[in-house]
């Protein structure tokens, strides 16, 4: 059962990775319930890490009570993983709509100094994108007219010192919009989490079958000993 401890640590890592990925761009996400699957798998991972030793001891001693208790815990964790998988599938379909509602509002508030500006600059520099659907979206933003008809410097391609944010330098700018790139990133993160959850759920299912077999064998052995007394 040492594998349960390792698996628990792996689930905690995956859950933390999902939360960190979403927190990096939380200004553009209104639906915070998207993190429910990550919270579930972190909880399951912690429980798996803790009960790994208990399950190992119960198996070594072939205690029927201990094995039955361990089986109930496995069943609860399996149910939680299935629930996390369902939630992840549901919220994966909501990512696009969530971004469409929030991204334009955040970009409209850009002034180069506030928290929304820092979020936009981080997004554009990290994903090498510019604007919501395209870099030309900036022409409709208050920032464009107040900054001598330029886009933020974060729209410039990396390691390019000649870029000034002028639209007459398209070769120096990232022209693809951020919405598609951010949606793809978040979809990939959620898909990765779903695959991990599914994999561990399958393993957990076969683990429950194994514990059932061991429990049945333990019960039969006890019965045979009673007949010989």
**Joined tokens for residue 128:** 């090498």
Q: Would you give the end-to-end CA distance of the chain in angstroms?
A: 33
Residue 121, pLDDT score: 95
Least confident interval from 148-152, 170-174, 175-179, 216-220: 216-220
DSSP assigned state of 63: -
**Joined tokens for residue 150:** 């330029």
Least confident interval from 39-48, 90-99, 164-173, 205-214: 205-214
Q: Is the dihedral of CA 190, 194, 200, 204 positive or negative?
A: positive
How far apart (Å, rounded) are the C-alpha atoms in residues 67 and 50? 15
How far apart (Å, rounded) are the C-alpha atoms in residues 20 and 172? 31
Residue 225, pLDDT score: 43
Least confident interval from 57-71, 107-121, 141-155: 57-71
- pLDDT reading at 13 higher than 60: yes
Residue 223, pLDDT score: 47
- pLDDT reading at 120 higher than 90: yes
Average pLDDT over the chain reads 81
Q: What are 122-174's pLDDT values in tens digits?
A: 999 999 999 999 999 999 999 998 888 999 999 999 887 888 889 988 899 99
How far apart (Å, rounded) are the C-alpha atoms in residues 99 and 180? 9
DSSP assigned state of 153: G
Phi-psi region at 62: left, alpha or beta (left = phi > 0; alpha = psi -120 to 50): left
Contact (CB, 8 A) for 88 and 188: no
Q: What is the pTM of this model?
A: 0.77
- pLDDT reading at 183 higher than 80: yes
DSSP 68-109: HHHHHHHHHHHHHHHHHHHHHHHHHTTHHHHHHHHHHHHHHT
Residue 57, pLDDT score: 53
């Amino acid at each position: 059962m040492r594998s349960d401890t390792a698996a628990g640590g792996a689930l905690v890592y995956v859950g933390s990775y999902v939360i960190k990925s979403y927190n990096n761009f939380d200004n553009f996400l209104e639906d915070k319930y998207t993190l429910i699957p990550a919270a579930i798998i972190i909880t399951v991972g912690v429980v798996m890490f803790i009960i790994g030793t208990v399950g190992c001891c119960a198996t070594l001693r072939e205690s029927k009570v201990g094995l039955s208790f361990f089986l109930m815990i496995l069943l609860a964790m399996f149910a939680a993983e299935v629930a996390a998988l369902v939630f992840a599938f549901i919220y994966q379909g909501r990512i696009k709509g969530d971004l469409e509602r929030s991204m334009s509002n955040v970009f409209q508030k850009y002034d180069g100094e506030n928290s929304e500006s820092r979020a936009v600059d981080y997004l554009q520099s990290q994903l090498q994108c510019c604007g919501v659907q395209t870099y030309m979206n900036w022409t409709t933003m208050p920032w464009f007219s107040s900054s001598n008809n330029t886009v933020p410097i974060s729209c410039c391609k990396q390691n390019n010192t000649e870029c000034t944010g002028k639209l007459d330098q398209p070769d120096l700018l990232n022209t693809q919009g951020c919405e598609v790139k951010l949606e793809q990133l978040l979809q990939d993160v959620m898909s990765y989490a779903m695959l991990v959850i599914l994999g561990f759920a399958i393993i957990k299912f076969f683990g429950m079958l194994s514990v059932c077999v061991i429990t049945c064998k333990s019960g039969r052995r006890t019965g045979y000993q009673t007949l010989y007394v």
